[in-house]
Amino acid sequence: GYYKDEAKTATTFRTINGVRYAIPGDWCTVEADGTISLLGRGSNCINTAGEKVYPEEVEEALKEHAAVKDALVVGVPDEKWGNAVTAVVSTDSEVSEDELRSFVQSRIARYKAPKSVLFKDDLGRAPNGKADYKSIKAFALDKLGISQ
C-alpha cells in the first residue's frame, strides 16, 4: 500500500472474490494480434480539444529524434484547447521547436503533437528514472507565462 495514504491504497489495491489485485490506472489497447500496447497512466492523460493524449506516447515520439536526449510532456491550461500539449526536452544538439513539432506529427496523430516545445538542460528525473511531472509542469507554466 501507500504510506500514510489509506484512500489511495484502497483505490489501487482491491480485493475481488477474495483475491487482491493492484489497479495502477494504466491504460492500454489490445491489438488485433492479441498484443497489448501501453498508452500511459490515466492520471497523466491530457484532455485537449476533446481528445485524450497520453504523454508517454508523445515523449517516445520526441525521443526518436536524434537531437533529443530526454522529453517529458504535460498539459497546460489553454483557452482554445482546454489543455495544450506541451513538451519539455533536453537535447544533445541544436534543434528548433518547429522541427520537433513536425517530427512528432510525422509519427503520431497531429492533434497529439505539442503546441509548445520548451528546452531545459536537465529534466530532473529521480535516480530510478521516474519523471517529476509536477516540477516540469511548473517549469512550463512559468516559461509560458501562465499563472495557475
Contact 55, 86 (CB under 8 A): no
With a threshold of 0.85, does the pTM exceed it? no
* pLDDT for the residue numbered 44: 82
Report pLDDT for 84: 97
Q: Which domains does the chain have, with CATH numbers?
A: 1-44 (no CATH), 46-148 (3.30.300.30)
User: Tens digits of per-residue pLDDT, 42-72?
Assistant: 678 899 999 999 999 999 999 999 999 999 9
Cell of 23: 489497479
Q: What average pLDDT does the segment 79-101 reach?
A: 96
Cα–Cα dist 50/114, whole Å: 15
The pLDDT assigned to 95 comes to 98
73-87 pLDDT, tens digit per residue, is 999 999 999 999 999
